[in-house]
Amino acid sequence: MLKRSLFTALAVALSAQPVIANANGVTTTVTRANPDTLAQVMATKQLRVCSPGDYKPFSFDHQGKFEGVDNDLVELLAQSMGAQVVMVKTSWSNLMSDFTAGKCDLAVGGISITLPRQQQALFSVPYFTNGKTPLVRCEDVSKYQTIDQINQPTVRIVANPGGSNENFARTVLTKAKLTMHPENLTIFDEVAEGRADVFVTEAAEAIVKTHEHKGVLCGVNPDKPLKPAENGWLIPNNDFRFKAYVDQFFHLEKLSGNLDKVINKWLPKQ
């Protein structure tokens, strides 16, 4: 009776694991407790990648085609495994819940490496040094040089929900007047059109938007961010084999000079 009960429990546990089949009908069972993403991707010939797709220069959904630093790199990673990239659109608010639910094998798109995220998943080695940078109207650059200058009741700040920008606004800029904007594609208009004074984002995005809105929006000292940060890719929790593979991929791309080449392709010169 005990053996039968154990067998039943094991069968139920295995049946609860997601099963993925490739085009040839070959199936792979994904065990979330001890995942083997590398084996899964090589068996299914698919690399599922979550991204909000709203963050230049890293990953941007351009009419259904994802473009940017991360997308160029993830295509090379997939090629190394003989796989095709399948993009899975998410949002910053749902990024971690979608990823931990097993909807994708990687998550990319300019994701800041933070301890709360690290509590739920692994990160690759950092591939880009970033940091919180104010984006303001160009005539206001001298007014918003420091946290103290921004963190005032008379300063109107804006943030997008679910990511490190909102966290920074709510935990560091507690005295400023915060307005939440529903998504990251049009949030820059809030500052450009005078409805907000400051949007604190990452240095890379501030550089891109300064380039796109020349003479209107300016990043404040993107080379000296208010709070330094690093970007990495999310990797399924406990999957240290896949993490080692992705880390080695980044190491080789850096050694060859291709990592800098891809970054420079998408990041405008200051």
Residues 123 and 238 in one domain: yes
Residues 245 and 259 in one domain: yes
**Tens-place pLDDT, residues 56-110:** 999 999 989 999 999 999 999 999 999 999 999 999 999 999 999 999 999 999 9
Q: What is the CATH number of the domain that holds 239?
A: 3.40.190.10
Among 166, 170, 172, CA closest to 146 = 172
* Residues 121 and 242 sit within 8 Å (Cβ to Cβ): no
Residues 159 and 193 in one domain: yes
Q: Is 2 inside any structural domain?
A: no
d(CA 72, CA 6): 47
* Residues 47 and 78 sit within 8 Å (Cβ to Cβ): yes
Q: Is 4 inside any structural domain?
A: no
**Tens-place pLDDT, residues 152-172:** 999 999 999 988 999 999 999
d(CA 56, CA 260): 16
- If one counts every other C-beta atom within 10 angstroms of the C-beta of residue 53, the result is 26
Q: How confident is the model at residue 34 (pLDDT cuts 50, 70, 90)?
A: confident
Q: Whole-model pTM? A: 0.82
Host domain of residue 243: 37-127+232-266
Residues 115 and 79 in one domain: yes
Q: How confident is the model at residue 11 (pLDDT cuts 50, 70, 90)?
A: very low
Q: Is 145 inside any structural domain?
A: yes
Q: Is 25 inside any structural domain?
A: no
Q: Is 47 inside any structural domain?
A: yes
The predicted pLDDT at position 21 comes to 53
Residues 183 and 207 in one domain: yes
3-state secondary structure at position 95: helix
Mean pLDDT of 40-45: 98
